[in-house]
Each structure stands twice: as structure tokens, then as C-alpha cells.
Structure 1
Amino acid sequence: MGNLKLYPKKLEGEVKIPPSKSMAHRAVICAALGNGISKIENIDYSDDIIATIDAMSSLGAKITKKEDYLEVCGVKWNPSNNDECSKLHLKSNSERIIDCNESGSTLRFLVPIAALFDGVNRFVGRGNLGKRPLDTYYNIFDKQGIKYSYKDGILDLKTEGRLKSGEFKVKGNISSQFITGLLFTLPLLDEDSKIIITTEMESKGYIDLTLSAIKDFGVDIINNNYEEFIIKGNQSYKSRDYRVEGDYSQAAFFLSADAISNDVIVNDLKLDSLQGDKEVLDILERMGLSLRYKNSGLIGKVEGNLRATVIDGSQCPDIIPVISLVAALSEGTTEIINAGRLRIKECDRLSAVTCELNKLGTKISEKEDGLIIKGVKELKGGVEVWSHKDHRIAMTLAIASTVCDLPIILKDYECVSKSYPEFWEDFKAIGGVFNEWNVGE
């Protein structure tokens, strides 16, 4: 990977936020499990979304990239006419390779979905994906007699056997991705099922997104206050046209840029969105950012000084890196709590944020499940920082560079392709200044 030299330069202009990666994953999966042909508009082909497209294709869906939309021919499509979709067949006679790349969502969503089909499923991937725990599924497999094997430290998981309906007890304080995977899968089984949540539910926003997408594609699930989910069996996903909404987790970078003296108008956000990362609006307002609408987009302005607050990371972990940057430039001491899951993302994000932002003069210290951030008045530059090959760390450091006193060198900047392939183009279009840099120059 390469390096960029980023110069201190105020950002000013408008950005069309890319489509929600969370909703795109869900739309592709629902459409691919469907009974016809769906059209998905406003989709960004990030590495993670490509992983989900390829994974669902490996299960038999026919997915085609058109000029400005994605056409998805579902695995349940069995028309009488002899068009392309009628030629689909499930690949059940040999080992399927399901390549999740570095996408935790793809992996955890697809493990139970793949258990709808006969044959051996082999999940592979890269980076830290093999370190993400899957014990929730292993416990279910043990109870149901589904065969599985895996290797420690890398993703190489094999499963064989079909999932059966029933009662599933799942902890709520683990990744919501496990619950989402089951919510996708259980309606397609012949009998009714129930998911019982045995602890307080974290990341409710992500469950809301899943239930919303599932409902949009014609499947009904009863949510009893996030304590249990009642799922009728023998349902089917219905094909439809679907537009993916803008992504609040990506908007967080530019709204945070506004909080530290940039002037960016953020477009294409759904105001009544169920995305958990919409919490960024409330957090930034508590810290002193006044939000208003301009040219049909959202822009923030700070009157006076930013102020410290307490931030609960349990419902919105993906925005914590860039919010930490804002907190570092706020008066007082900010505490980030309930964010332990950030340690098993693409990198240990709590450690990475602490290490890299402290190089710029911040005063951040780690706790086991959070951060203590003492505000400083300014950031220094003239140093080399590293993305840790994590897209959210790279974008956080890009926003930080706009208010440093000297340029910074960012190592491994291309990792933004995981979620936001056009980030550097958008950053440049609103005034960001950078160039390729060879370390040692």
C-alpha cells in the first residue's frame, strides 16, 4: 500500500454521502434470497459490498451490475419461462467457497444463511477476520448436529448440514451480526422459530435496520421489545425495486470536520433513518455543534468552544474513531464507554486511535472498553501516521490533517476502499490537498 502527504487545508463545499453499507448488505441479501428479480439503486461497490455480492452469488443468486443499479435474481426464483433466471441451480454437489474478504458482516450474516443449503460451505477471508469470534454459531451447530471445522487465527471455516427451526438463545451484548444472520435465515425454514435474547441488547439500531429491510422485502418478524423475536416459518422474500439510503457512518467524518472548523454540506441523508450511527447528530450537538439545513443538505457550525461529554459506544461503534478526534479538540475530559468491541474490528481501533492521534498531540488514554480523552487546543503535524490498514482510522486521520499545524504522512491510505472507495476524490473535491509520498523523501 502507498502513502499520502496530507496538507493542512480547510474543507469547504458539498459532499453526496455514499449509500449506507449496512443497508446495502441487507438489501443484497434479501433480494438474493428472493423469489424474483430485484433492482437495487444507489449502491457503492466497496470491498465489503462486493464480498456480500460474491457470497450470495456462490449460493446461487444471479447478480449483475448494470450502469446505475444492481440486478439481483433470487435463489428462490423458479419461473416457468426459459429466461436466464430459470437456468439457476443450487450448487449443492460440491464444496462452495464463500470469500468474505475482510467483511465481518458478510461472514456473520452468511454462516446461517449458507446452512439453508445442502453441501459443504467453506468460508475464507483476510486480515483480522479469522480473529472475530463465532462461538454463538458454533453453540447452535453443536446443538443441531451441524458439522463444522475451523482454524485458529485465520478464517478457514467449513460447515455442513442444514439449519433447523426452533428456539435460539443468544446474548444481546455480543455483535448484533449474529442475531441479524438468524433473522435473515429463520423465516425461510419450514417451521416457526424464536430468538430469545438472554442479556441487555446492544446495537439495537443495527437490528432495526435488519427488521426494516426484511419487512421491505415482504417478510414479517415480531419484535418483543428486543427480548425475543417471533419468526413464522415458510415465508419468502419478495422481489422489488429498492434504493439504498445515505450512510450516517460516513457522514460522521464530514460532520465531525464541521465541528473542528471546516464547512462541509452533507447531502443525501434520510432524516428519519433507523441507522444507529445517526447518533452522531446527537453526540455532536451535545458537544456544541449547531446543525442546520443548507442547499437541502446538513451543515454544522460551532459557536464558542466544543465541550466534553460521555459517549456510549455500544450502539454506534463505527463512529467512535472520528468522534474521538472531535473530543480531543474539546474543552474538558471526554469518556468513551462500552466500546470494547472496537478491539476486534479491522484493527484494534481503541489502540489505533490512541496511538495515531497522540502522535498529533492529543491526550488520549485507553481503558479496557473505552477511552479517556483530555482536550487540547490544537494538533501538531510534521509526523508520520498509520491507518493500521483500517478504513475508519485512515479517514479519521484525513479529517485530522485539516487542522494540523504542519503536513502529515499517512501510510496505507488505500484501505478506504473497504467502505468508501471515492473518499479521496470527495476529500479533494471539497478542498483537501494531498499527494503521493515515498517514505524517506
Structure 2
Amino acid sequence: MKIEVTPTENINAEITLPGDKSISHRALIIGSLAEGETKIHNFLSSEDTLSTLNILNSIGASIKQISEDEVIVEGKGKDNFIEPSNVLNAKNSGTTMRLMMGVLSAQNFYSVITGDDSLRERPMKRVIDPLSKMGGRFFARKNGEFAPITILGTKDISPIVYKTPVASAQVKSAILLAALYAKGETQVIEPAKSRDHTERMLKYFGADITQKDTTVVIQGLTKNLEGREFFVPGDLSSASFFIVAALITKNSTLLIKNVGINPTRTGILSVLKMMGADIKIINEKTLNNEPVGDLLVKSSSLKGVEIKGEMIPLIIDEIPILAIAATQAKGKTTIKDAKELRYKETDRIRAITRELKKLGIDILEKEDGFDIIGNQKIRGNCTCESYNDHRIAMSLAIAGLIADNPIEIDNFECVNISFPEFTEIFEKIRSI
């Protein structure tokens, strides 16, 4: 599907967003490990999260979607999964594959998990290595690194003390989910703090888990987790596209309601404020151990910054939209230490560089990031490629709002992977 984006004069709107994708995945998995009913409100119904739902049902979970954004999980406890009768398909979802590998490694049965062409080329050794040290057995393509992956699970999962080579919420979460089946204490130590939704949710459901700095300690379960009522906050990663839209479009004010403001996710807000963004958090509260608030955003004069080091894991998914903000900032913006971007749904460093050059932007590609010279006009009058990457597609759509001429974007249907409602909300902010 090809879309055309035309420029807009300003944005003045109030919006609410679908549930956070990372949290929606985890609510399904942890609700299935628990005993009793878990009712999930504001669930994100996207291709990625439905991959997790379908895989869990394939191994004996009981999950019913009773409306677009409400799901009921009839939890049977952690020991009630069954061997699947077919290959498990994570499609495009790296979160599904990596987190489910943690669960499947601790089951006393055989399973195979695969994905689409893109996911089969994403490295999985970073998850396989620690889970193998815990007793899981894996066989994978290309020297044991790429899907399809055969998993020979075991009930004899061992606790572990593991230092992750890089800060990764997915690696950490896979270890913590497997550790629920271990007898004793497991520690995960990261070089920098990554997203902590899994830790917060496990605690909310009754796990014995503590966090201090970059170390997480979890005890193996001696009794089942308990099913809970659960509200999924609005997705801050999804909000980031509309935040940047309001910042770079003149005379704009945007209110985004009930957004998750977990400190491990607000790196995007910190960076944008460093750039001079006018963003206020109001109406703060805590829902099921996650902080939530409303975001009030106004158009701003931005300045270039250098983003590197420990900040990168906290904004890794938002770098494509930060690149769009950087095109309108005064001075140079540098992204470094972000080589992980080359192993996402596509090589995002190359994709960002190529597409911004099409739009007339002065950008220099580097091995671990790029430099963007700001205060530039986005020319438009061209066709851009999404690379079937939802974040690239949505970032280009935001760029189109301030372009001199319309922009066409090919293969825009890929936004359904993470944010099916994007087009509807995008049109709403343009029309109010």
C-alpha cells in the first residue's frame, strides 16, 4: 500500500493512544504463567502482539480477545503448558521470539519457533547463550544464531548469575521468565539499565524480584503467580511520532492522554528536552506498578545534540523519529554507539540515511549512527521506501507534515505490525 502525505499548517488536538506494545506482550505471557483470571484493558491488538497470543494458545494457554482492546487470560499456572503440534510462528516480532524462548526453554517438551524473512535474519545467540547456561538446549541456523530455532526444553532449569554484554530488555526478560522455573536465585547484571516492564509486572503478579541499579534478582517460584486486573498504558514509543509532529509544526499544541512514563522509557522525552522541546507531564499516577501521565506538547525551536553511550538503550526504538526532529534543529545532531540499529526490522541506520537524502537532508552515515545537519527544508516531491519497517514508515509520514511538497511512502501497511491505529490518529491531528 502506497500513501501520500501532504503538508499541514499546524496541529491542535487531544488524542489517546493504543496500549504499549512491550507491556501488552508481557501481560499475555505473565498472565498465562499465573493462576486465575487476568483481564487486560487497553491491549494493543497488532500483528506483533497477536503473534504472542497465538503462540501461547498453541502451547495450551487459554486467551480470548473479547474486544479490540480487551483480553481475558484464564491462567492455569506455569506448569500447564503442552507441546505444540506445529511450528510456532513469531512472524515479525522479535519480542515474541526472544521472550517465548525463555518460557519454552523451561518446558519439558520439544518446540520449534520461526518468523518471517526479516526475523529469521535477526541474531538470537544473545538469548540462546544465557538460556543454554541455565540448561536449555537449542539448535539454530548459521552456527546456532538464527531462526528457525529448535528448543529441547527441560524442567531442570538452573539459576544463574549472568552479565549481559549489552543492555537489552528482551535478553533480560527471557532470562527472568526462565528463572521462574529455577530452584533458587537468578541475577541479571547489565552494563546499563534497560526497560524494566518485565520486572515491574512480575512483582505486580506476585514474584519475589528486586532491582538495584543495573542488577535484577529473582527467586524461582515456589507457588504460582496470581492473575490480576491489568491496564496497559498508552505507548510512549507510539506517542513519540506525534510528539515530534507537534514540536516541528508551527503554532501547534497537542495533549496526549494516559501515556506510560516509565523512567526506562522516557529517554525520548529527556533527549527532546535537551534539544529544547516544550513538553510537560501532567496528571501523573501509578497503575499496576507502572507510572502513567498526560503529555502536553507545544511547537518548539530545537537545537542539535550528541546522543551516545548509556542513553542509546533507552531510546533505541525512537531514533528514527529523533532523526526527523534533528532535521529541524539548529546545528548538528550526532547519534553514535547505536550499531544495534542495523539489526532491527531492517538496517535502520542505512534506511534513515537513504530516505532522508531523498528528502534533501544533509546526513552522513556512520557504522554506529549518523550525523544530521539541522535547520533544513524537507523537499518532498518524491517516493520514499518503508523497508517494511513500521518505525521508518511512521517517521517518514511525520516528515511529510512539514515538507515543501507531498511525499509518497511505499509499503505503508507495515505500520500494522505495531500501530494499526496510526493512520486514523495521524489524520485526526491534521484535521482538527
Deviation at 1:135, TM superposition (A): 1.8
Secondary structure of the corresponding residue to residue 123 of structure 2: coil
Alignment partners' CA distance in 2, 1:377 and 1:432: 26
What's the CA shift string for 1:378-427, capped at 9, x where partnerless?
Answer: 11011110111100000000000011001111100010001100111111
What is the match of residue 160 of structure 1? Answer: 152
Moved runs in structure 1, 4+ residues, more than 6 A? 293-296
* Paired residues of 1:363 and 1:374 also in contact (CA < 8 A): yes
- How far off is 1:184 after superposition? 2.0
Structure 1 residues 235 and 314: alpha-carbon distance in aligned structure 2, compared to 1, 3 A threshold: same
Cα drift, residue 175 of structure 1: 2.9
Q: Which runs of 5+ in 2 are unaligned?
A: 284-292
Aligned-partner SS, 1:276: coil
Structure with higher Rg: it is 1
**Residue 175 of structure 2 corresponds to which residue in structure 1?**
182
Aligned to 1:209: 197
Mapped contact 2:207–2:219 kept (Cα < 8 A): no
Within 2, Cα distance between the matches of 1:65 and 1:254?
A: 28
Give the match for residue 411 of structure 1.
410
Say which SS state the counterpart of residue 76 (structure 2) adopts. coil
TM-score of the pair, normalised by structure 1: 0.87
* Structure 1 contact 39–69 (Cα < 8 Å) conserved: yes
> Given the superposition, is the C-alpha separation of residues 38 and 354 from structure 1 closer, same or farther in structure 2, using an over 3 Å criterion?
same
Moved more, 8-17 or 65-74: 8-17
Equivalent residues in 2 for 1:288-437, closer than 5 Å: 288-292=276-280, 297-303=294-300, 305-312=301-308, 313-431=312-430
Within-5 A mapping of 1:5-404 = 5-10=4-9, 11-67=11-67, 68-76=69-77, 90-92=81-83, 95-140=85-130, 142-143=132-133, 146-152=136-142, 155-162=147-154, 164-173=157-166, 175-189=168-182, 191-197=183-189, 200-201=191-192, 204-206=193-195, 208-227=196-215, 229-261=217-249, 263=252, 265-270=254-259, 273-274=261-262, 276-292=264-280, 297-303=294-300, 305-312=301-308, 313-404=312-403
Q: Which of the pair has the greater relative contact order for Cα pairs under 8 Å at 6+ separation?
A: 1
SS of the counterpart of 2:430?
coil
The percent identity for this pair of structures is 29
Checking the alignment, whether the CA contact within 8 Å between 1:221 and 1:232 is kept in structure 2 is: no
> 1:277 touches 1:319 (CA, 8 Å); kept in 2?
no
- Normalising by structure 2, report the TM-score: 0.89
1:113-132, Cα deviation, whole Å (9 max, x unpaired): 01222221110111321222
Deviation of 1:7 after TM superposition, in Å, equals 1.1
Consecutive unaligned residues of structure 1, counting only runs of 5 or more, are 79-88, 434-441
Distance apart, 1:222 and its partner CA: 2.4
Contact 2:24 2:43 (8 Å CA) reproduced? yes
Which residue type is aligned with residue 46 of structure 2? S
Report the more deviating stretch, 219-228 or 402-411.
Answer: 219-228
Cα contact 2:64–2:73 (8 A) shared by 1: yes
Q: Secondary structure at the match of 1:234?
A: coil
The total of aligned residue pairs comes to 414
Kindly provide the amino acid, as one letter, of the partner of residue 304 in structure 2. Answer: A
